[in-house]
Amino acid sequence: MSPDDGSSDVFAHFSAIATSGYRSLDENQRVEFDITQGQKGPQAENIRPI
């Protein structure tokens, strides 16, 4: 995922998408998310489509 503020990309796993049913995102879809520190660096959590 690429933050709007121009900071480094962060890893996003489909399990972090906060929607019911089938969890997917479209290319270039805008989302809100929280950044946490994962084992291999920054990662997106609580991903919410906007």
pLDDT for 37 equals 95
CATH number of 11-49: 2.40.50.140
Q: pLDDT, tens digit, for every residue of 2-40?
A: 888 988 899 999 999 998 888 888 999 999 999 999 998
Alpha-carbon separation of residue 27 from 13, 30, 33, 38, 49 (angstroms): 15, 9, 16, 23, 12
Read off the DSSP letter of residue 10: -
pLDDT for 22 equals 84
Are the C-beta atoms of 49 and 21 separated by less than 8 Å? no
Are the C-beta atoms of 41 and 35 separated by less than 8 Å? no
pLDDT for 3 equals 86
Question: Half-sphere exposure of residue 48, counting CA atoms within 13 Å on the CB side?
Answer: 6
pTM of the entire predicted model? 0.79
pLDDT for 44 equals 95
